[in-house]
Amino acid sequence: MPGSGRWEAELPPGTDVEIRTRTGDQLLQHIRYFDSGGGEVTADKHKKLPGFRAGPVDTSFVIGPDWTPWSQRYLHSGARVMSPSLRKFMQLQAKLVSNDRNVAPLLRRIEVDMHRPVLQNLLAEVWPEETSVGQVDTFEVYLQPTLLEEPRSERSPGYDEVLLSSEPSLDMRLLDVALGTEEEFARGQPLQFFAVERAEDAASADGAVLQILRSQGDSLQVRFPQVKRGESADVLPHRYYRLLVEEDEVPTRSDGRLLDLLSYERLDEELQGAIRYFRKTDRDGAQLEEVDAATFEALEEDERGPVRYFRKVTGVGNQSLFDSLGDTLSVAQYNRLGRAKGWVLGYGRLVRLRFAAAVFLHGTKLKTAMRNSAIEGPWQESDPGDVTHIRPGQGLVIGALGAGDVVDDLQVSPNPFTPNSDGINDVAEVGFSLFKVYEVRSLKLRIFRLDGTRVHTVAMRALGGRQNFAWDGRDDNGALVPPGLYLAQIEVDADQAGAAGQKRSRLIAVVY
């Protein structure tokens, strides 16, 4: 798992170096055949050429369809790798830039820190996926860790810490943490349940103590009392994989999803494998028998089993959890594979974090990660996905519905206030909710006399959310203003051109 990337470069004035990365799981083998004169020929023709006419065979590898796009450029050496981790391969791109044809940058060294992942995979989802903008709601985040069990020498070490954050930042308050299987959650009886009443450690009914590292703010962090690893196969089923070689056939697309007729027909012709037909041999369809296409067409509807479509495997580094007929590998089949044995993956129990927060921006993204506190290395971030059937969530994005104005819910407290330095009501808090602001923007609080004369200005930069200004009753020169009525005006540079409500005003009474 990549950590951070570092490089050394000499950059004369007017030059630069741009570093980017991308990651993926599949490399496709690309083979080109040549005759003795250097002309490219087909594989069949190359086989038929006499020895003295046959030229070289050039084998290269290209990235597969599952690779991510190039990342944004890294702004400085030592930055954390932005491309998704838990991928088999990573590419680095170094672009040398010069505005002067007489000088050039020199890249001396580039390296990436690699760390052993604590998990094989981590998926997460949030529920609900939509909420009313600016209203405090309760959210549940489910995390599903998958761990490598075999080969034993590469077994995943497991995790004990969980981190939750958001982009843009939310003011979150952790309510409880639970650990259990999907069935245990469905029964309302998770294996462990930790109620978080204060910013203190929480205990479950079995006496286990959850360490609360951060219970409120823009991130939440907890540490379990013991490292969590994959459950045994009698608690949660394991998945067994076989190693694949060129021209093996699998019933899945390159992204791991099962092929259907539509996705099969979209494959390049040379990648289209067999189409297999099956007949049910019992009432519930648990037992199947392969038949040819003509026999399948002659069957009654209730006798027909599935039709499975296969893809020819290309490239290296591929594994499949299906056998040659498209059935999921059993432990007995796996044990008979010999040298073709691949991974054995186990599941950890689901982790659920419940928290309360008000969402101000549509499309707010949650970020979840796990790590093992005993192992030095970066947090292992999750991918969004469909984790559990308990909730219908499928990702980590929250939609905020009902946002109208950019500035709303403007309140002043106390009002009136008495800035006479007696320690009571000396400062007025001007609070408001900020919507539709997706990047850091300038905010200004201006205080006016009722004749329009400005007496005080406070500026800050912020994202959407609940914001606060404080006014101590003094003007821009530091002098206390006379008693009377003043107008407090909030102005924001919003993201949406022409958005309504970029200014809001309230009267403030100053008394002595």
The verdict on 21 and 105 lying in the same domain is yes
Within 200-292, residue ranges assigned H as helices are 261-265
pLDDT at 86 over 80: no
The tokens describing 268, both together, are: 């390049």
pLDDT at 403 over 80: no
Q: Give dist(CA 407, CA 501) in Å, integer.
A: 6
Residue 183, helix vs strand vs coil: helix
Q: What does the pLDDT read at residue 438? A: 66
The verdict on 191 and 259 lying in the same domain is no
Q: Give dist(CA 448, CA 96) in Å, integer.
A: 54
Q: Give dist(CA 143, CA 147) in Å, integer.
A: 13
**Domain's final residue, options 114, 139, 171:** 114
In this structure, what DSSP letter does residue 316 have? B
HSE value, Cβ hemisphere, 13 Å, CA-based, for 332: 1
Q: What does the pLDDT read at residue 76? A: 92
The verdict on 221 and 132 lying in the same domain is yes
Q: Give dist(CA 36, CA 52) in Å, integer.
A: 7
Backbone angles phi, psi at 352, to 5 degrees: -120, 130
pLDDT at 309 over 90: yes
The tokens describing 170, both together, are: 């939310």
**Domain's final residue, options 364, 384, 401:** 401
How far lies 338's CA from each of 118, 234, 332, 371, 506, in Å?
27, 24, 12, 33, 77
**What's the number of domains the chain is made of?**
4
**Domain's final residue, options 312, 339, 366:** 339
* % the chain with pLDDT above 70: 96
The verdict on 286 and 376 lying in the same domain is no
For 67-92, what is the mean pLDDT?
Answer: 88
Q: Which residues contact 220 (CB under 8 A, 6 or more apart)?
A: 163, 164, 165, 172, 174, 214, 353, 355
How far lies 429's CA from each of 413, 467, 489, in Å?
5, 10, 13
The tokens describing 216, both together, are: 């409120």
232 neighbors 303 (Cβ within 8 angstroms): no
The verdict on 7 and 110 lying in the same domain is yes
Q: What does the pLDDT read at residue 452? A: 85
Residue-wise pLDDT for 233-259, tens only, equals: 889 999 999 999 878 999 998 778 899
The verdict on 352 and 283 lying in the same domain is no
The tokens describing 172, both together, are: 């979150």
pLDDT at 70 over 50: yes
* % the chain with pLDDT above 90: 54
Q: What does the pLDDT read at residue 476? A: 92
CATH number for the domain spanning 366: value is 2.60.40.740
Q: Give dist(CA 307, CA 297) in Å, integer.
A: 11
The verdict on 201 and 164 lying in the same domain is yes
The verdict on 205 and 283 lying in the same domain is no
Residue-wise pLDDT for 175-190, tens only, equals: 999 999 999 999 999 9
CA 107 to the chain's CA centroid:
32
The verdict on 47 and 94 lying in the same domain is yes
Give the per-residue SS3 of 140-173: EEEEEEEEEEECHHHCCCCEEEEEEEEECCCCEE
Structural domain range at position 331: 241-339
Q: Give dist(CA 253, CA 261) in Å, integer.
A: 12
The verdict on 437 and 493 lying in the same domain is yes
The tokens describing 202, both together, are: 């929480």
Q: Strand pairing of 130-132 and 503-510?
A: unpaired
pTM for this entry = 0.73
In this structure, what DSSP letter does residue 339 have? G
Is the backbone peptide bond immediately before 416 cis, with ω within 30 degrees of 0? yes
The verdict on 158 and 52 lying in the same domain is no
Name the pLDDT band for 331 (thresholds 50, 70, 90).
Answer: very high
The verdict on 223 and 278 lying in the same domain is no
For 347-366, what is the mean pLDDT?
Answer: 91
| Higher pLDDT, residue 463 or 83 | 83
